[in-house]
């Protein structure tokens, strides 16, 4: 029963992570990390599939191993996030929501800036692993 709940939670987190690729306000990485953690406890097969998945696997492995985030991923994430935050702040007239969005954007920016940047040759090495 416990494994089933982990698998369901992992699948929901994976779906939210995938949706987050297209909706900048929805964070992708935390959901993918949650999916990985859930699958690790619920299904070795699903965890292996996720970690070896062609597009998401190298990023998950590099993040979990503390190697960093590729520069292109950082730039893309920040550009999309600030674009959506700016549009949201412009549309929503509530000052407290604007402040909350601004604080969230600054926090994510600082977090990504402080994360180690993964060099292209390191990412190629991770993809080959």
The per-residue pLDDT of the chain, averaged, comes to 85
User: CA separation (Å) from 52 to 10, 40, 59, 71?
Assistant: 16, 13, 10, 21
CB 70 within 8 A of CB 52: no
* Confidence band for 77, pLDDT divided at 50, 70 and 90: confident
CB 24 within 8 A of CB 80: yes
pLDDT tens per residue, range 78-108:
887 888 889 889 999 899 999 999 998 899 8
Q: What is the pLDDT of residue 118?
A: 80
Task: Assess whether pLDDT exceeds 70 at residue 123.
Answer: no
CB 118 within 8 A of CB 67: yes
Q: What is the pLDDT of residue 12?
A: 94
Rounded to two decimals, the pTM is 0.64
């Amino acid at each position: 029963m416990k494994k089933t709940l982990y698998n369901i939670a992992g699948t929901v987190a994976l779906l939210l992570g995938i949706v987050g690729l297209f909706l900048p306000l929805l964070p992708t990485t935390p959901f993918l990390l949650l999916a990985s953690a859930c699958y690790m406890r619920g299904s070795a097969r699903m965890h292996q599939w996720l970690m070896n998945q062609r597009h998401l696997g190298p990023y998950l492995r590099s993040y979990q191993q503390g190697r960093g985030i590729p520069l292109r991923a950082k730039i893309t994430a920040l550009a999309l996030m600030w674009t959506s935050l700016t549009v949201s702040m412009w549309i929503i007239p509530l000052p407290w929501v604007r402040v909350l969005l601004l604080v969230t954007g600054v926090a994510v920016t600082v977090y990504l800036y402080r994360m180690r940047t993964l060099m292209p040759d390191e990412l190629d090495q991770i993809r080959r692993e």
